[in-house]
Amino acid sequence: MLWRKSTKDIRKLEAEVKELHKHIKKIESQNQQLSGQVTIYKSARDFMNLLFYKIPTCVLITDDKGRIMKANQHMQDLIETPESALVGKYTVELCTRVDELIKTQNKAFEKKTLKKDVFNFESYLLHRNGTEVPISSDITFVQDETGKTLGAVAVVHPRV
C-alpha cells in the first residue's frame, strides 16, 4: 500500500515516473518525425502515380512472373481496356499470334538471365474490339540489390 511505503520507496517511484515521462516525450517526438516522413512518402507516391499515369507513351509494369501490376492511361487507351481489367493478367494474355510471341519471348528470357534489357520486342496486342494492334516494346528488368528480378517495365510503341 502506498501510504505504508517509506519515503525512500516513494522517491524511487517518483524517479521512475519521471524517467517514464522522458521516454514518453521521446516516443512522441519520434512519432511526430515518423508522421512527417509518412506524409512525405505519401506525397511522393501520389506524385509518382500522377507521373506514371500521365507519361505520354504506353507503359506496363509487371511482376517477376509477367503479371501486369500497372498500366498507364496511354496503354489503356491503346487497347481500350481499363487498368482494372489488365491488372493480374499475364502479358501473354494480351498478345495475339502466340507462336511468334513464344519465339520472341525465349530471346527475351535469355536477355533477362543475362540481366540485359530487351529492345524492339515486336508483338501484337489484342484490342478490345478484337483487332490486332502491332507494337514494339522496350523492356527493362528490375532487380533488387542481390540481383533477383522483381519485375519489368515495358515501354510500348504502336507500329504503323
Q: Which three cell numbers stand for residue 128?
A: 478490345
Domain shared by 33 and 65, yes or no: no
Q: Say how many domains are in the chain.
A: 2
Mean pLDDT to the nearest integer, 135-156: 92
Residue pair 127/80 in contact (Cβ under 8 Å)? The answer is: yes
99 band by pLDDT with thresholds 50, 70 and 90: confident
pLDDT digits (tens, 9 = 90+) for 24-75: 999 999 999 999 899 999 999 999 999 999 999 999 999 998 899 999 999 9
pLDDT of the residue at 38? 93
Q: Which three cell numbers stand for residue 75?
A: 496503354
Q: What is the pTM of this model?
A: 0.71
Domain extent, residue 13, equals: 2-49
CATH number at residue 97: 3.30.450.20
pLDDT of the residue at 25? 93
Backbone angles phi, psi at 100, to 5 degrees: -65, -40
User: Rounded to whole angstroms, what are the CA distances from 100 to 15, 45, 73, 95?
Assistant: 77, 38, 27, 10
Domain shared by 36 and 73, yes or no: no
Cα angle value 118/122/125 (rounded, 5°):
120
